[in-house]
Structure 1
Amino acid sequence: MDIILSQFKPHEHLPAFSEFKRYMKPIVDSAIGWDEDFQRSSFESRLQPEWFRWILSNGEKVGYVCSRIKSSSLHIHLLIIFEHQHRKGFASSVIKAIKSEANSQRLDLTLSCFKNNLPAANLYKQLKFEISSEDEHFYNFISVVEHS
């Protein structure tokens, strides 16, 4: 499956919150409760616009990903696939593309996932991520850099 990851334009960051809310509110609400002000403030202040990329397939936006390089890893903060594109392999393709980026920079790939987000957690396990730690609500996953 061919996908392209295309940098957000500066004005696209804040409107992306509505898609975040659409897909994540049920999961967050079920796990810890949804606080609109906290979620919006956290999205706007903690996730930098330059970390966001559109996921494009045949020129169509099928979702977006927010990731950044940390000290020893490339970390995925958020992966949203639009509902009409679910179960078509886009999430796997994005993860594999970002895993390739991480490997080329000799970085581990990390991400966190709500435990109650079973489709996402199962996908990460299927893609050979290991649980590096967990707490009451989250799994922290890692895919260790491949050494050649």
Structure 2
Amino acid sequence: MSIRTQVVKESEFQQVFLSVKHALFDYVEAVYGWDDDFQQGRLRNDYDPVWYHWLYEKHTRIGLVCYRKKENSLHLHLMIIFPQYQGNGMGRHAMDFLIHEARRMACDQISLSSFTQNKRALAFYNSLGFIIDSLEDHFINMSLEINL
């Protein structure tokens, strides 16, 4: 499979917000309570717009990632595979793409945080070899070492 990315355009921000809301609403609601205005502000102000990328498999948009270089790590803020593309290897292919990106950026690891209640994501990251770096009240910080 050929995964590629495309930087999200400003005019597509509402689609980003709706994708994030669909994927994370239950987790955010359980921990903080969901507030549309707050979450839109957070997505716009806490993350540089160039960190957001649509994921494509050939010509089909299959998801969204938000990542950046942070010291020697590619930090994955967000990875969403749209529901209709889950369960058929797209997430694994997207991670292969991100590992390639990490190497291209001379990063020796990928780091991320996940809600502790997001059992499916945690099982996925565990299956890829991510290890737990630390636990917080509602989050697990994980990393994967990358061979350069």
Q: Percent identity?
A: 31
Q: Is the 8 A contact 1:106 1:145 kept in 2?
A: no
Q: Deviations over 1:5-46 (max 9, x none)?
A: 122223223431111111110122123432333222111101
Give the structure-1-normalised TM-score.
0.91
Distance in 1, matches of 2:136 and 2:38, equals: 21
Contact 1:13 1:52 in 2 (8 A): no
Q: Which residue of 1 aligns with 2:123?
A: 122
- The answer on 1:79 being equivalent to 2:112 is no
Gaps of 5+ in 1: none
C-alpha spacing 1:70/1:14, structure 2 compared with 1 (3 Å)? farther
**Can you give the 5+ residue segments of structure 2 that lack an aligned partner in the other structure?**
none
The RMSD of aligned alpha carbons is 1.5
Q: Report the residue type matching 2:130 in the other structure.
A: F
Instruction: Report the equivalent of 2:26.
Output: 26
Query: When the two structures are aligned, how many residues end up with a matched partner?
Result: 147
Measure, in 2, the Cα distance between the counterparts of 1:117 and 1:83.
15
- Normalising by structure 2, report the TM-score: 0.91
SS in structure 1 at match of 2:20: helix
Distance (Å, rounded) in 1 between the aligned partners of 2:6 and 2:40: 23
C-alpha separation in 2, matches of 1:8 and 1:38: 20
